[in-house]
Chains A and B, each alone.
Chain A
């Protein structure tokens, strides 16, 4: 060994004698005089032109994408005026200030933590403060109990509170309301014909399998449903789960892992965000539906060169924005850069596209071009659960590595029967008529809202219609007034939306008749006039028909 140094210790074990010989031959002063460089054992890199040939440095540049042939429409996101923003923020300051005063002066009428000195608090202090002093004031607009099927109409149980929403009491009255809050996009309900199939499934298999799919939970219905789902979507294979949220949350960790980069849309659903966190993937967020921002992130990630996989995670229809992903453009980008694509079709399957096949059908993308197609049965199919579909290899891998197949309870047989029925019903003339009816309702409703001069977000074809009211008071006022006029809708505020962007969300259904929509629009017109919700600064559209 030539690597012995002045005090006899070996500095660097990595030194090979062969290396040293070579170096020492060239530079006799360097090693054997006892002066050893600790880091590089005396090896000096020669100039790049060793043999006179200079290799040109290959620039790994990626040419920018030409977006001209694609529809890159992000959806409509009209900005509100500065005054509206300022007033909304002022209102939030007022609420926060009052909350602190309230907290200082009174004991909250809820369970409090006692004898917990030395322990970490059970709840996040800000969340606790927010839910007690901001959310509580509007709590009667949320969590409203119902006592009927969520069809075109719905029955609400009336509640009242005598202590400013700290507690509620049922009055015993029932309110029959027009339902614009449930995700029953196609309006499929048991009375349309699924009841015999569902009843037969209950009689034969019971209500639950009492076991996960991987153990004793797979019935013929599950196989049939998976085959039908794959055929319905036009891909090789599919796997179904008993819960829609868990489909994302438990499948993503099976597909991704550390060393994977996920490019995630900023408005992705909580289930996707949780799934990505559980997968321990690196997440980079791009601006909502912005393909140029996505391209910037993706090409930078490609240039970094050390990711095992790069996957784009998007939704088909975004449930809070009512926007539709520019899928054709994203698929082109994915193909160009060699990325994977995970598409969550929870709100779009059954509801979008000429045949109700979701946003692939709508944007004319081959379903095979999307690597992972995910969707739920909870919306258009009027049941519960979710699916992941794609290549057979993907689905087999998910059966082995996804947690839901092995550990979660199998989808209940009657639910599987309902989904099977709904999926088959969608291809009948009646089903296709429902898809068309939903599209027409959407266009009509969105068109009329535009004429009204209110701000709505999203895509003209999306059945989720958010109407911006900005402040909590206006959200509460609108929901209260609409309920009094027999319209049940959902108000959404922070934390589901940004702080100053509270909104009312209308979910349209094929089951709504034109007369029902007109009644809703008439009621809404009154509320808009009364509360001053005409925030739109665009020229009103031409009247429809």
Chain B
């Protein structure tokens, strides 16, 4: 086995191990394959919604706060 193959194998093991741990933590270890797909899709949707919420509302809100000085003027 060449070094490249070894590294690849190691990577594969690493990913399959942590995928198994992820399945264990979310109880997906014991469900049928199609059910895994449904739950993955659900998690992806929730994750993307959070992402959108963060980028669209939280980050823009913070940047607006940082760039404006109206509140300082109000206080003064």
- A: residues with CB less than 8 A from B are 87, 90-92, 94-95, 98, 101-102, 137-138, 164, 471-474, 476-477, 530-532
Best-buried of B24, B26, B27, B29 by chain A (most CB within 10 Å): B27
What are 19 A-B contacts defined by CB distance under 8 Å?
A87-B25, A91-B25, A91-B27, A94-B27, A94-B28, A98-B35, A98-B39, A137-B31, A138-B30, A164-B32, A471-B27, A473-B23, A473-B27, A473-B29, A476-B29, A477-B29, A530-B17, A531-B21, A532-B24
**Chief secondary structure at chain B's binding surface:** helix
Min CB gap A493→B, angstroms: 11
Q: Are A98 and B24 in contact (CB under 8 A)?
A: no
- B: residues with CB less than 8 A from A are 17, 21, 23-32, 35, 38-39
> Whole-angstrom distance between the alpha carbons of A87 and B24 in the complex?
10
Residues of A within 8 A of B24 (CB): 471, 473-474, 477, 531-532
> Whole-angstrom distance between the alpha carbons of A415 and B68 in the complex?
88
> Whole-angstrom distance between the alpha carbons of A474 and B32 in the complex?
16
Q: Which residue of B lies closest to A475 (CB)?
A: B30
Residues of B within 8 A of A91 (CB): 25-27
Q: Are B21 and A473 in contact (CB under 8 A)?
A: no
Task: Say which residue of A95, A530, A532 sits within 8 Å of B27 (CB atoms).
Answer: A95
Residues of B within 8 A of A90 (CB): 26
Q: A473-B23, A477-B24 are in contact. Are A98 and B38 (CB under 8 A)?
A: yes
Q: Are B30 and A473 in contact (CB under 8 A)?
A: yes
Residues of B within 8 A of A98 (CB): 31, 35, 38-39
Task: Say which residue of B30, B35, B38 sits within 8 Å of A472 (CB atoms).
Answer: B30
> Whole-angstrom distance between the alpha carbons of A259 and B23 in the complex?
52
> Whole-angstrom distance between the alpha carbons of A91 and B26 in the complex?
5
Q: Which residue of B lies closest to A165 (CB)?
A: B30
Min CB gap B29→A, angstroms: 4
> Whole-angstrom distance between the alpha carbons of A477 and B21 in the complex?
11
> Whole-angstrom distance between the alpha carbons of A92 and B25 in the complex?
11
